[in-house]
Structures are given as structure tokens and as C-alpha cells.
Amino acid sequence: MIRYITAGESHGPQLTGIVEGVPAGLQITEEDIATHLVRRQKGYGRGGRMAFEKDFATISSGLRFGKTMGGPIALSMPNRAFEKDEAGWPTVMNKKEEADGIEKITLPRPGHADLVGAQKYNFDDIRPVIERSSARETAMRVACCSVARQFLKHFGIEIGGHVMRIGSVGYESWNEVREIADPLADNGAEAIYKAADESDVRCLNEGLSAQMREEIKVRRKEGSSLGGIYEIIVTGLPVGLGSYVHWDRKLDGLLAQAIIGTQAMKGVEFGLGFESGHRHGQQVHDEIDHDEKKFTRKTNRMGGLEGGMSTGMPLIIRGVMKPIPTMLNPLGTVDMHTKEQTETRYERSDVCALPRAIVVAESVIAPVLANAFLEKFGGDSLSEIEANFKNRTQ
């Protein structure tokens, strides 16, 4: 089972990651990981920190001659803001002792982990909560998940996403999205993210991209923020990943946890998702067909999942990201110390992080899919898994 864990704070010296359970023999390089780290840093509406953060993960263990050895893989990534920012982070985040005059952050932001996190861990300063709950952590998450993503790619499984909506601007119907995304997916899901990456808002529709940029400009001037909706498509999945037997082995449930466990995500759906509740049965379920080689579906409104298992059709996942709670035009709050009503303070942030967050969403589902694949075709080495996969799919 592939599992990863991250460590590090937003303005600490570095982020660290450990990935375990990767079969021996998988070829991977730091440049493979950098591909998606670079993508995560791009996007219209991003904050000022991206101007000097140049994320690159260094692999310090787990590889020999460019291939995994079956043991844990250790990754590290420096936070350039730690040294380059003028905020004095080496003092603020000193691991040994507290210096005199360090400001205590006592104004929790509505919609953020600030207040509840401080209450849970009995902090009189929100800074520790800000540091660990920050989406900066997702840089290392993308790095760790890129290992699983490389494993999936070896077996022809590709992941790609695009933005469907930012604020009030977006596609109007299921069919409108399918007409533009599905032809790209026919060439593998990577074609989707590569086409989406041509837009700085990662939308496949040029007209909507322009409108999304304008929407972001308007909210920036207002000192507000924006969320939105994205779609992830996965191609190349074999039939039968996941299980109907137990609730905790259903593939859609595991994927939903990965998405919702990502900062600022508030909803997830598969295929038609919530729209299914507005339609009758004949408008929702996919009729079964058979070609010369296999069973298939005439449509894919279920998004490639039935009974908690992959059907062999493209997997379609949609996620909802809320507007970032850090805004230049502040909301009301209460000082944790004085209990007086006041306004929140500003902590550097994006106006709209959705174009960047979609790369995180693509990444976090990779270990889930890799584990479902290993459960069905597993082995300790890549060659053993290849043999199992070949024997069971031919």
C-alpha cells in the first residue's frame, strides 16, 4: 500500500515528505516530480509568494540508479520565503527559543482553521495553526503524489483536469463540458491538462477564460476572493478497481476523502453527481453495450463508477473549492485575548487559487488509484505487477 506523509510549516525552512509502499523497480526522477510542481505554481490570481518560490523536490533516499528499491522515499523542498522574505521568519519560526517582541496573532479569520485550531491545541497564538494548515503544504503533497502518478502512468493510466467555473463564470451544462473535454480524453487524460495549461485559468474554453480573468480582476479590486469548480478525468483504468463488498473499499468513497482532505475543498461529485437528483432514471444511468473486445457503456453519466468500482470508462470527478478566507477587505472577528469585536488581519494569499489547486486535486487521487490497482494486481516489484496485470487483463 502506497502511503505518504508530509511535514513542515508554511514559513519554516523546508517541507519534507516520506512515501512508502512503492514497488521496487519504478523509474522516477526529480524532473518527473518537478513537472507538476511547476504546474502548481502557475495560474492567474496567484499571490506574491510565487514570485520567489521555485519549488523543486530533492530525493534523498529510496532510489538507486534511478529506480525505486521498495523502501521509503524521502523528499525535501526548501521554503525560499524563510530566508528571502522581509518578515523575519528565521526569528518568528525559530525552533529553539522565543525571541523578545514576537507578535502573537490573535485575530482568527472566518472560514479558516485559525480559531478552532487554537482552541483544539490550546494555543494563545494562531501562528502555529496558520503555518501547518496553509496550502503551502500542498507543494510537498504534489511531490509525494507524483511518485504514485508515475506508477499509474507506467500502466497507461493518465490524470488530467480543467477548470469548469470560477465565481459566476462557467459552463452551463453537462453536455457543454463533455463536448470540449471528451475528445481530448480520447487521446489520454494528459491531453486535457496540457490543453488546460495553455490558459492561465486552466479553462479549456477561450471565451470563458477571458471572462474568468475579468471576474478575478473585479474581486481583486474589491479586496475579495473567489472559488470555483474543477473536473478531473482519469483514463486507462481497468475494470473492477475498488469493491462493492465493504463501504471502506468503495473507490468513490476513497477518492472523495482524498479530494475533501485537501485545503479549501467543500464538495465532490462523480459524473453527473448532484444533477442526478434533478433527472429521472433513463436520463442518468448508462446503457450497457459490447464491442468486439469488451463491455462498455453508451454514455458515461456515472463518471466511470458503478457500485464503488471502476467500469473501464473514463473516471470523472468534480470538486468544489471555496473562496480563500484571507481577503484584503476583511471580515469581522473577535480578538482571542481581549474578546473585543474587530476585523481580521491580512496574511499574504491568492485572490483565486483554483487554477493552482486543480494540480493538487489531480495529484491526491493518484495514491488512491495506485492502491486500488495494487490491491487487484499487486506485487513487491514492478515486474511482478506487470506480469499479474498482463495475465488478468488478457
Mean pLDDT for the chain overall: 95
User: In this model, does residue 69 exceed pLDDT 60?
Assistant: yes
Q: How confident is the model at residue 48 (pLDDT cuts 50, 70, 90)?
A: low
Query: 319-333 pLDDT, tens per residue?
Result: 999 999 988 898 999
Architecture of domain 3-393: 4-Layer Sandwich (3.60)
pLDDT at residue 229, rounded to an integer: 98
273: left (phi over 0), alpha (psi -120 to 50) or beta: left
Cα–Cα dist 174/186, whole Å: 17
Instruction: Please tell me the distance from the alpha carbon of residue 285 to that of residue 293, in angstroms, as a whole number.
Output: 22
Write the DSSP assignment of 105-150 as a string of letters.
P--PPTTSSHHHHHHHHT-SSSHHHHHHHSGGGHHHHHHHHHHHHH
Structural contact between residues 53 and 81, judged by C-beta atoms closer than 8 angstroms: yes
In this prediction, residues 64-92 reach a mean pLDDT of 90
341 forms bridges with which residues in the sheet?
334
| pLDDT tens-digit series, residues 297-327 | 999 999 999 999 999 999 999 999 999 998 8
Task: Band the pLDDT of 184: cuts 50, 70, 90.
Answer: very high
First to last CA, the chain: 25
Digit-coded pLDDT (tens) for 259-294: 999 999 999 999 999 999 999 999 999 999 999 889
Three-state DSSP state, 71: coil
**Whether the predicted pLDDT of 227 surpasses 70:** yes
Q: What average pLDDT score do residues 171-187 get? A: 97
Q: Tell me what the mean pLDDT of segment 33-48 comes to.
A: 87
pLDDT at 50: 55
Predicted pLDDT of residue 53 = 67
Cβ neighbours around 314 below 10 Å, total: 23
Whether the per-residue pLDDT at 49 is higher than 60: the answer is no
The stretch 9-20 carries a mean pLDDT of 96
User: Read out DSSP for 194-223?
Assistant: HHHTTSTT--S-HHHHHHHHHHHHHHHHHT
Residue 284: strand, helix, or coil: coil
Task: Provide, rounded to the nearest whole percent, the portion of the chain with pLDDT above 70.
Answer: 97
Looking at residues 169-178, what average pLDDT do you find? 97
Give the pLDDT band of residue 47 (cuts 50, 70, 90).
low
| Span 237-257, average pLDDT | 98
By mean pLDDT, which of 23-27, 88-92, 131-135, 247-251 is the weakest? 88-92
Q: Which of 48-57, 129-138, 217-226, 355-364 has the lowest mean pLDDT?
A: 48-57
Q: Tell me the domain boundaries of the chain.
A: 3-393
In order of 6, 55, 60, 150, 236, the CA distances from 33 in angstroms are 15, 10, 14, 9, 21
Q: What is the pLDDT of residue 51?
A: 59
Question: Of 36-50, 141-155, 174-188, 375-389, which range is least confident?
Answer: 36-50
Confidence grade of residue 346 (pLDDT, cut at 50, 70, 90): confident
Would the pLDDT of 234 be above 60?
Answer: yes
Q: How high is the pLDDT of residue 155?
A: 98
